[in-house]
Amino acid sequence: MAYELKGKIKKIFDTQTFPSGFSKREFVVTTQDGKFPQDIKLECLKEKAEMLDSLKENDDVSVKFDLSGREWQGKYFVNLTAWKIDTSSSSGEDDIPQYDPSDEVDFDSEEPPF
C-alpha cells in the first residue's frame, strides 16, 4: 500500500553505502498536519537516492512512499521508503478553478447546454 505526505524538506543526509553494496539516503520532511508541525524521516533506496540530488532544504514536496516494519532481536523498526518525490513550485493557485464566462449556461435557450 502506498502513502503520500506533503511538506517542506528540512534535512537531506549523505548517502550511506554498506559493504554489501546496498545504499540508502535519508531525508526529513516537515508537515503541518495536526496541531503541531511533524518532522518525518524517510529514506530512498539504491538508485532512488538520486531523486534527492536536485532538492534542497525548504523545498515544498509531495512524497509517495511505502511503509514497512520488521522485528530484529526483539526490537521493532518501521521504514518509510520513498519511491516518488514531486516538487510543488507553485503556491497552489493553479489548483483553484478560474472563472470563465464561456462556462455560463443560458437557461433561456431552447438548446440543451451539452
Sign of the four-CA dihedral 19, 65, 58, 36:
negative
Mean pLDDT of 5-20: 95
Nearest by Cα to 61 from 79, 42, 46, 35: 42
What's domain 2-90's superfamily in CATH? Nucleic acid-binding proteins (2.40.50.140)
Where are the domains positioned within the chain?
A: 2-90
The CA distance from 21 to 45, in Å, is 11
Distance, CA of 103 to chain centre: 34
3-class secondary structure, 10: strand
- Dump pLDDT digits (tens) for 32-62: 978 899 999 999 999 999 999 999 999 999 9
Q: Which amino acid is at 65?
A: F
Could you tell me the pLDDT band of residue 101, with boundaries at 50, 70 and 90?
Answer: very low
Distance, CA of 31 to chain centre: 10
Mean pLDDT of 9-30: 96
